[in-house]
Amino acid sequence: MSTTGPPATGWTPPDEDEAWALSLVARVERDPLPAHTDVLVAAARAVVLLLTDERTTDPEGEFAAPVRAWRDRRIRKITRRARGVRWERTGQLAHVEARSGDAAVRAFAPHRREEVPDVLRPLQVGGLDLPDPEGLVVPSPAADLLTVRLCPDVRMTTGKAAAQVGHAAQLAWEQLPADAVAAWRAGGFGVRVITGAPVAPAAERVDVRDGGFTEVPPGTVTVSAAFEG
């Protein structure tokens, strides 16, 4: 299956006159503090919910044109965080929202990288690094559940990993076999996130290679995704 991002060696970032990005905003209250893995699950689901929302799939929908412009370029995603009033204000923008445990993540229409909507601009990018509680239970593999595996050799903050699992969910929706994707959709786009090397054959999974803009070197395989049930 295809990957996103550059090959592992010999890569030069492409010139883009207009870089676009999709903004994810994680709700991070002090109490309860969301778990790292729950934020990642919610981020992955939020991306797919936005891509399949009727505001995207309808050619005249509110999200349709910006999503098209964004998908024609590198699929950049930026994770921000908010709490309290700032979180509530993000609801003023059209969005989709996904939840997992105590985590909530909103995905917004893509925008030119330098044209961040005013309500999102002050929200912190980077530095979001949450723990997982002891004994965190991850669902077992199932046919209608996408398994996203974080590369065990790559250290990423929660914010960085949220963008990467969002990439993986998008590629799974776009590239994995149609019958498996249909079952996933019928099941509500369930996601399980674990750390470990891929177990599915290369032809049955998607891998994400990072562009190297933050935290990891360009070409690093950060996550993979497959239907393992």
Whether residue 88 is contained in a domain is answered as yes
| Phi, psi at 45, each rounded to 5° | -70, -40
**Whole-model pTM over 0.85:** yes
| Phi, psi at 105, each rounded to 5° | -130, 130
Domain region containing 48:
17-122+138-226
Whether residue 130 is contained in a domain is answered as no
Per-residue pLDDT, 99: 98
Please, what are the averages of pLDDT over each run of 10 residues along the chain (229 residues)? 40 57 96 97 98 98 97 90 97 97 97 94 93 92 96 95 97 97 97 96 94 78 95
Question: pLDDT, tens digit, for every residue of 83-122?
Answer: 999 999 999 999 999 999 999 999 999 999 889 999 999 9
Whether residue 149 is contained in a domain is answered as yes
Whether residue 3 is contained in a domain is answered as no
Whether residue 11 is contained in a domain is answered as no
Beta strands in 52-203 (DSSP E): 76-82, 95-100, 103-108, 111-112, 124-125, 145-150, 190-195
- Residue 84 burial (CB < 10 Å; 0-12/13-18/19+)? exposed
Whether residue 221 is contained in a domain is answered as yes
Whether residue 131 is contained in a domain is answered as no
Q: How far apart are CA 189 and CA 46, in angstroms?
A: 9
Per-residue pLDDT, 17: 58
Whether residue 10 is contained in a domain is answered as no
Domain count, the chain: 1
